[in-house]
Amino acid sequence: MLDVCLLGTGGMMPLPRRKLTSLMTRYNGSNLMIDCGEGTQVAVKEKGWSFKPIDVICFTHYHADHISGLPGLLLTMGNAERTEPLTLIGPKGLVRVVSALRVIAPELPFEIQCIELTKPEETFVLNGYHITAFRVNHNVTCYGYSLEIKRSGKFDPARAKEQNIPLKCWNPLQKGETVTFDGVTYTPDMVLGPERKGIKLTYTTDTRPVPSIAEHAAGSDLFICEGMYGEQDKEQKAKAYKHMTFQEAAGLAKEARVKQMWLTHYSPSLVRPEEALEEAAKVFPNTIAARDRQSVELQFEDGEGDKSNEKGRRTDSGNRKFL
């Protein structure tokens, strides 16, 4: 199960009843956040979730409405007695930007590890999250993210017995670990069936509709996409400022065959986004004008939890730098 909360839905500036766009997820005791604009920690507090388990923060780009809340969040995490390292992921320049913001948050009880994105697509595995960062099209370098929770195949006790695999090896094999016992090596493929369908979430904001979005969102259980403008006559403005209309976002959702789409990152002038849904819903019926703190529990298809244990496993293809 993956807990998902869209903490805010605003673009450009926070409003009295609309926080800036930010996403937070919870899986297997580890929290992940995408973007952290001004006031994001207020939204986390209103949701009632904890700051301390945030292990990864991904940034789409470095406009202020997506990163200016970071210093305050870091200080709050430090006050929550966090000591474990925190991983930050973002476009090239992350170290420079974070170092500048940390002038007002200089002393923290935990280490910050920065991974700078330099390629059109990069993948990471952090605490059970399979993260794919993909470049999109804004007026500065910007990335979207797909988060996947993979599922190993089902454990087959009969196969384990047929191969005389010791009972004490069953549990680690079920978790996807290779085991050596009494000089014999046992591998997960000896007892696990084919990989089962996992959970997939794709998040993208501040971009024009480009092919990479539909490609990476394909088959997502939830697609969270920017909808800066709901009005039909704002398409030229969307093109000029490298944003999207509701209808353009719906076109991507349809192409990617996602299960559901939440719109977010509304223009401050868009007071009632739900009233602008009609045309988008004609393109992709399962389109929702998300509200602040909109939440969902994404379940595996058969309702079972994943038996694999990837908490603590960390692999990546990026350049890790320490602050």
Q: What is the CATH number of the domain that holds 224?
A: 3.60.15.10
CA 263 from centroid of its chain's CA atoms: 15
Domain that holds residue 62: 2-152+195-322
Q: Which of these, 118, 148, 147, 144, lies nearest to 133 by C-alpha position?
A: 144
Residues with a catalytic annotation lie at 65
Position 176 in a domain:
no
Residue 172 lies inside a defined structural domain of this protein: no
Does residue 289 lie within any of the structural domains? yes
Residue 253 located in a structural domain: yes
Q: Is the separation of the CB atoms in 72 and 79 below 8 Å?
A: no
d(CA 223, CA 310): 24
- Give me the helices (H) in 107-218, please: 157-162, 170-174, 211-217
Q: Which residues pair with 126 in a beta bridge?
A: 129, 314
Q: Is residue 66 part of a domain?
A: yes
The pLDDT score that the predictor gives to residue 301 is 82
Total domains in the fold of the chain: 1
CA distances from 76 to 36, 41, 93 (A): 13, 8, 24
By DSSP bridging, strand 222-226 and strand 196-204 are parallel
In a domain, 241, yes or no: yes
Task: Tell me whether residue 161 is in a domain.
Answer: no
Q: Is residue 31 part of a domain?
A: yes
Eight-state DSSP code of residue 268: T
Main-chain dihedrals φ then ψ at residue 305, nearest 5 degrees: -75, 165
**pLDDT per residue rounded down to tens, the chain (323 residues):** 999 999 999 999 999 999 999 999 999 999 999 999 999 999 999 999 999 999 999 999 999 999 999 999 999 999 998 999 999 999 999 999 999 999 999 999 999 999 999 999 999 999 999 999 999 999 999 999 999 999 888 888 999 999 999 999 999 998 888 999 999 999 999 999 888 899 999 999 999 999 999 999 999 999 999 999 998 789 999 999 999 999 999 999 999 999 999 999 999 999 999 999 999 999 999 999 999 999 999 999 875 555 444 444 444 545 666 67
C-alpha span between 190 and 182 (Å, rounded): 17
Closest CA to 156 of 109, 111, 113, 196: 196
pTM greater than the 0.85 cutoff: yes
Which of left, alpha, beta for 52 (phi over 0: left; psi -120 to 50: alpha)? alpha
